[in-house]
Structure 1
Amino acid sequence: MRHKSRYKVFQKLTLVSVLIGFLAAFLAVSLKRITEHYEDIFFLKANQLNFLYFLFPLFGLTIIYFLRKYMFKNKENKGIKEIFECTESSNKNLPVYKIPSHFINGFFTVIFGGSTGIEVSTVVSSATIGSVAQQKANFLQEYKTELICAGIAAGITALFSSPIAGILFAVEVISRKVNRTLLFTNLIAVFVASLLVYILDEPTLFLIKVNTWNFHAIPYFMILGVLAGLNSVFLTKSVLYFKSQFVKIEKNQNKVLVGTIIIGCAILLLPILYGDSYHGIKEILAEPNTVFSLKFFLSIFGILLLKPIITAITLASGGDGGVFAPSLVIGAFLGFFVATFLNTFFNANVLPINFIIIGMAALLSASIHAPFTSLFLVCSIVNDYTLFIPILLVCLISKYTAKYIFPHTVYSYSLNPIKA
């Protein structure tokens, strides 16, 4: 009898995991495709009519403000912190309205120029699918964390065509522990998500051919890891600082207005900062061999300085998103800068493309304290595992550099606040 009841539980868990995997993956692919489509359209139009750099963020943040006030119970989206609050409490659940709230708000934030990405919006929406599923039957209550992680793993799998990164993110960042049920439900969910990605023939985010890497570049990779750790701390502290400052602005309309002006000025100065900025990574991947010059220095320095600040202001003024996409972008440009600097002044003869790819993984690892997720995610989005070893090395260096300087991420800071 005991074995029969256990078999029935796992049978039902299998069905629930299949459903969660499909719904989370379908949601992720849908959000990814429509966001990419409309972001390209609006960005092209803003390049032609520069006043739209101000009008689009104003329009997007205003829409989000009214949606949040009149449609989504006037509750602020807290991002991944909402998931932690849910998994660490037996009484809290993610309400179903979080699915459309994060989906719609994430979409409007990015297409209208908010300097963040849809990844965190996808993660929370996918987690909510898992949370809602476990609320539908009493026997599923004890598997809340497992089913939430299943939704997250499927969502990440669909976004980046990386089932390993999906499971690792759920384990490294969300559950921070592993059991058989978690592995069982997550494996089923990512299998279903991978199947959907295959059927839909989802392309990799960046199509790159990496030829090789040289052992003489390892010291330079290590330097990049340290710099990525430092930059991630700047990103984290920027988000925390501007959120604390914008809280002091009493009227939400004023938050939107202040945020719009700053975002618009920054995008007008550096159009690469528009939206998720993945178009900027594609540009430097297309032309990686650049000569170091004053113009090059100022433009890359501007991106490294302003991207964290504009991301922080986007989130503080009401936008939906997180540090996932900004970390990849900042890391790519940091790697590009380091490689070009080394080749110009030290005749290092390193490959800029390798540094761009490793930089993405390193900064993401440092920002979310998840080196293994970052390793497999970046290898998947470039569809190449040639740099597996140097990426692993640099991800570990960047994570522990960042953790040594500031032990928190934007996800964990408010949960265990410390006095700075």
Structure 2
Amino acid sequence: MPLPPINTGHRIGFVGTRFAGTDGVSLEAAKWAKVLWHNRHVSYWFAGKLDTDPEVSHLVPHAYFGHPDIQWINHRVFGKTTRDPEVTRRIFALAEHLKRSLYEFVRKFDIEILCVQNASCIPMNIPLGVAIALFCAETNFPTIAHHHDFYWERDRFAVNSVGDLLRMAFPCTMPCIQHVTINSEGQRALSHRRGASSVLVPNVLDFESPTPEIDDYNADFRQAIGVAPDDILFLQPTRVVPRKGIEHAISLLAALKNPKCKLVVSHESGDEGDEYLHALREMAESQGVDLRYVPNRIGEERDTNATGEKVYLLADAYLHADFITYPSLYEGFGNALIEAFYYRQPVLVNRYSIFVSDIEPKGFDVITMNGYLTKSVVNKVRRVIEDPEHRRAMVDRNFDLGKRFFSYAVLRRKLRALVTNVTGMDDL
């Protein structure tokens, strides 16, 4: 297909399995769209689950990884080493349907550049990945593929019967595709495994906008979750899944031996069951740690929940926190860490690999642990919560470094280069 015409704005088609809610892919895609919109580029959306404006959206149910037909395929190809011919037939039948839908999407909105969000690297929806690969092969359409997670990074995909399709489409390496990775480990692995170069674009936050403040709505957040004004609120701003290492946060509060310290966990346990949550509650009780699990009080919008209680934003929780715990064992990037910098909160970090390679070298002032809690780490945390001047110097430095390395200005520069590679003009 021909390159886009030269003008001051282009029509960008975002393609993914889901653009809805607060998952990392949806949030980062929205940030990309915001930066593009500010430079007169118009974004359109193709997915199986959408909460975007219907006027600029193309909903295709089979693009969603949670669709029963997609789940049927996944249950028969992962954890297996052979593939039934009927599974192959269904994959390619659905891929043909989704490929036709992509053609329709491009025609409907006169799309000039496709921006594939994670659908060509993590095989949650194999037919969609295959459809994107076939569409690019048939059209040579200008495409930016934004890769958040690769299948080789996840144990759940290690045993499979679709190695041929994974090599073909996850990711597809057609010449028309510009690859974007979110961390240097992913960048190196993509080059090693596929021989493909990529542009490293970290996840970002809008550091140029003023940090929100406590207002009339969120002023009673502590009271609402049963935390006193003079309590020391340790916020764990993550889902409750084992890789988040929340047991280390409980051990930290137990070691501090301060009854004023309260641990607040903001998000639900997700789709991995409640066994880990039960274990954490038992651990907290046995160690005398006050653990508050409040996902029913924190949501995507300020509202009320099913029982009529106020629902707050995660931002409201950050504003009331005194300290952030982030003892993750593994992260693809670490959005909660960047959020802690933005909301000027001190933070404890378990030195997961991406932090070590991509964030720590920037010089952020955080308290770190190496897989286990030491007396030195506990003493450093105690100093932060007892010494306001030390705390202020720490969070101010981190905000300034966050603005330098992980702001919208960084994203703007990266997107300018990606779009210019297609259009031949510096129009961002």
The TM-score with structure 2 as length reference comes to 0.29
Say which structure, 1 or 2, has more relative contact order (CA 8 Å, 6+ apart). 1
Greater helix percent: which structure?
Answer: 1
Larger radius of gyration: 2
The TM-score with structure 1 as length reference comes to 0.30
Greater strand percent: which structure?
Answer: 2
